[in-house]
Structure 1
Amino acid sequence: MATEAEKWMNLPQDHMVRSTKLPWYHQDFEYKLKPKFRKLLEEWSGIAPEEVVPHIQRVRDVAWHVFPWPCIGEFWFIEQGLLRHPDYSNILKRITTTTPPPKFLDLGTCLGQDVRTLTHDGASPSTLYGADILPGFRDAGYALFRDSDRLDPSHFITGDIFSDVDDLGKTRGTWDIIHIAMFLHIFALPEQQAVSRNIMKLLKPVPGSTIIGTQTGSLDAGELTLKPPFCEPGEHKTIYRQNKDTMKELFEKAADAAGLKVNVWTEYDEDEARERAEGRKAKGDEWEKKERFFAGDKERRIFFRVDVL
């Protein structure tokens, strides 16, 4: 029986989720384009200012061909999730001032925007790595950032978080800092529990090791039943949305299973919730449905940090 990862990597070209008529395949994204990301493309990637928007549009279609995640259709890969995290400056300082520098893994790196943000802000590429289950995203990232001459391909690992024998699994116990953004929520609760345990195994089991990240959650934790095209017709599939308290518990239990003592901090990204509410107020519910397809009154992004004691 094919694993979920194998299904993703072998998705037929005519599958319904590849349709550009889906509501999360957007044409307009400039409201998401922040000055910091524009500056990254202009300074790090050498994109002319007038070319930034069409360049992003072209690369989105390349990434959509790799795999049509809704976040690709909605251009969320231009949002620098790590930069938004309250602990970004501390992580950057740690990477740029510690000798030897800590090994940093961006897990679920997609097009590698957070790795590029760190390099643009002064981190050495030699200590930064990204990992994704879909190898095509590495080349899509090179197309977006035009830096294949500066970031070694060996620093982009193809791996399945559920495997302990692939290239990612072979790095268990070697990472000082692991960043994970916006992928736990694609799984059901038992899978999230397995993922959190395996992330803990990737971390160096020593004081000072850190997991940091952001995930989509809800004020009310609970199970959601998916409908096509998020699953095959007739298939019963669920995902789980954590709240900040259950997210804390998730990682505490994962650490306990690994025999590690940790401090876990979680908090909602209230700025994002406020921005969404202001957009809804200014442009109406139809804006919410069109431009923020998966959002709702109870949805929240959850910041978290796990420190090994």
Structure 2
Amino acid sequence: MSTTTGLDHLGASSYSLDEEESEFFKAETGIHDDEELRTHIVAVQEKAYKVHPYPCIRRFAFTKLKIARLPGYEQLLKLGKERRGAIFLDIGCCFGNDTRKAIYDGFPIEGVIASDLRREYWDIGHELFKSTPTSFQVPFLQGDIFSPTFLSPSAPLTTPPSTSAPPLSTLTTLTPLHGHISAIHASSLFHLFPESLQLKLAHALGSLLSPLPGSIIFGSHGAAPIKGVRVREPGEQGEYRETFRHSPESWKELWDGEVFEKGIVEVFTELREIQRGDLGSGVGDGANGRTAYWLLWWVKRL
């Protein structure tokens, strides 16, 4: 199989799907031949990497169905089944693979909305899954969640909004959804920003979450046993840049007592140690410099 000239470093050889991932991608794309599916996914990966060279694209992270393996996922599906009019927001949705997985597993499509800074990735998602805006009618909002014109600042609601949420297909910003969203998924997102913007992002998501008990924000991202600017990752041009990582303890403190009034949310965290072969020696943590830490978490309204 050929690869695009100059993109051999993307490591198509690292492509692999387990049984669940293979079943999902075959069902969603309609491609049932393993080699044909591999060729298709690798071609989309190469195209997406040209838009912005995120390491997660290079590692085929978009094939890993990470949302379904998060501790908050069952609560998301439960809300979709039991809460009338439940709304699910996939923020930083990239190709929309997690958005589609939630729908595939039963969350009502009419209650789903996705958002990302770059529309190109959502469009590439249609290419990846061989769909169109007509065949896959989930509203997509392109925008910068830090911009007050896209999401106006607001404190978390303590009582349900006095009006119903507008039809999702009519939205051009997230502001009308203050206090209306039952579940928010945010993975591989927070660690992209310095500490001050991670706090601002958490406040933004908190303002969108419904005050009804069981409403949840959940996800995963890079973390550390002790918070601080202590982890470096490859930048766009191969240089190394410093990044901020929360610890499980500081992450809990951020949500319970800072974003939300203390005691009105429950916060779960699980720190996992992983080995990253794509990290250069001395870049990560641990004796070999190639250890990284990943935080799985959820924040639930009580």
Q: TM-score range by the shorter chain?
A: 0.7 to 0.9
Decide whether aligned partners of structure 1 residues 188 and 231 sit closer, same or farther in structure 2, where only a CA change above 3 A counts. Answer: farther
Decide whether aligned partners of structure 1 residues 268 and 228 sit closer, same or farther in structure 2, where only a CA change above 3 A counts. Answer: closer
Residues 285-304 of structure 1 mapped to structure 2, 5 A cutoff: 288-289=277-278, 296-297=285-286, 299-304=292-297
Query: Following the alignment from structure 2 to structure 1, what is the Cα–Cα distance between the partners of residues 71 and 218?
Result: 10
Moved more, 85-94 or 37-46: 85-94
Q: TM-score by structure 1 length?
A: 0.77
Query: Following the alignment from structure 1 to structure 2, what is the Cα–Cα distance between the partners of residues 288 and 202?
Result: 37
Deviation at 1:212, TM superposition (A): 1.0
Q: Root-mean-square deviation (CA), in Å?
A: 2.9
Matched, 1:137 2:121: yes
What runs of 5+ residues in structure 2 fail to find an aligned partner?
A: 1-5, 151-172
Deviation at 1:147, TM superposition (A): 2.5
Residues 80-91 of structure 1 mapped to structure 2, 5 A cutoff: 80-91=65-76
For 2:21, the aligned partner's letter is F
Q: Which has the higher helix share?
A: 1
Whether contact under 8 Å (1:181, 1:214) holds in the other structure is yes
Residue of structure 1 in register with 2:149 after alignment: 165
Query: Following the alignment from structure 2 to structure 1, what is the Cα–Cα distance between the partners of residues 41 and 147?
Result: 33
Aligned length: 269
Q: TM-score by structure 2 length?
A: 0.79
Matched, 1:176 2:169: no
Give the percent of matched residue pairs that are identical in Structure 1 and Structure 2. Answer: 26
Residue of structure 2 in register with 1:6 after alignment: none
Decide whether aligned partners of structure 1 residues 291 and 28 sit closer, same or farther in structure 2, where only a CA change above 3 A counts. Answer: farther
For 2:248, the aligned partner's letter is K
Residues 88-127 of structure 1 show CA distances to partners (whole Å, capped at 9, x for unaligned) of 23322321x2241410001111111111111222222111
Residue of 236, 241, 248 corresponding to 2:252:
248
The residue matched to 1:41 in structure 2 has which SS? Answer: helix
Query: Following the alignment from structure 2 to structure 1, what is the Cα–Cα distance between the partners of residues 216 and 238?
Result: 37
Query: Following the alignment from structure 2 to structure 1, what is the Cα–Cα distance between the partners of residues 265 and 94?
Result: 28
Whether contact under 8 Å (1:262, 1:306) holds in the other structure is yes
Deviation at 1:222, TM superposition (A): 1.4
Whether contact under 8 Å (1:106, 1:130) holds in the other structure is yes
Moved more, 165-174 or 121-130: 165-174
What runs of 5+ residues in structure 1 fail to find an aligned partner?
A: 1-18, 277-286
Whether contact under 8 Å (2:15, 2:60) holds in the other structure is no
Query: Following the alignment from structure 1 to structure 2, what is the Cα–Cα distance between the partners of residues 61 and 135?
Result: 17
Query: Following the alignment from structure 2 to structure 1, what is the Cα–Cα distance between the partners of residues 69 and 234?
Result: 32
Residue of 205, 208, 211 corresponding to 1:199:
205
